[in-house]
């Protein structure tokens, strides 16, 4: 990968051997490896070691989960907050696992729509809850730095499954909880 980065620097008109760029191919390789580490992680394993039987069937919400990802179209960052909820059906998951799932999928080349679906679908698949809801609010540097250059645009996506899709009051409770400020 480092040699390819050197070629990119040359194609941009730069000298990859100048002092400020000599270590850039190494640094970019390290950064991209870190930013795409989600490919090396199995989301099912993130959940499997922390599923517990519990007689609880009320909504569980983890909101304001910070994340960073790379747009697969431009390799530019997008970042924001994910809000994840589920209604257990005799199975709960350790609370840190929801945030870890967001990271596993965010640390891949992504589009926000797929990221939202992947998080919701793995929770539905592994916990078999009564419902799952995921809302992601993100800023995309490909929208701010290039193209239309809209500095204050925010993209919001949602995936609603089970009770969150079929029951208006459940959906509304979730939306109210994620909009509450501390």
- Residue positions annotated with a catalytic role: 71-74, 112, 140, 142
Report long-range pairs for 37-42 (Cβ below 8 Å, ≥24 apart).
Answer: 37/107, 38/103, 38/104, 38/105, 38/106, 38/107, 38/108, 39/107, 39/108, 41/104, 41/107
Q: Give the helix ranges, DSSP H, for the chain.
A: 2-11, 24-35, 43-48, 96-106, 112-127, 141-144, 163-166, 168-179
Bridge-based pairing state of the strands 60-71 and 109-110: parallel
For residue 16 the two structure tokens come to 């990859």
């Amino acid at each position: 990968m480092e040699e390819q980065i050197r070629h990119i620097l040359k194609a941009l008109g730069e000298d990859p051997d100048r002092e400020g760029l000599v270590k850039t191919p190494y640094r970019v390789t390290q950064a991209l490896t870190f930013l795409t580490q989600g490919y090396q992680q199995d989301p099912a394993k993130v959940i499997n070691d922390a599923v517990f039987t519990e007689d609880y069937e009320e909504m569980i919400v983890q909101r304001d989960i910070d994340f960073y990802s790379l747009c697969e179209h431009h390799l530019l960052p997008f970042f924001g907050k994910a809000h994840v909820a589920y209604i257990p059906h005799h199975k709960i998951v350790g609370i840190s696992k929801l945030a870890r799932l967001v990271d596993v999928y965010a640390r891949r080349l992504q589009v926000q729509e797929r990221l939202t679906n992947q998080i919701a679908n793995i929770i539905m698949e592994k916990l078999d809850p009564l419902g799952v809801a995921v809302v992601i609010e993100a800023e995309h540097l490909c929208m701010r730095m290039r193209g239309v250059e809209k500095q204050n645009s925010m993209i919001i996506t949602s995936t609603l499954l089970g009770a969150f899709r079929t029951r208006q009051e459940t959906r509304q409770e979730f939306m109210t909880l994620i909009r509450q400020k501390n």
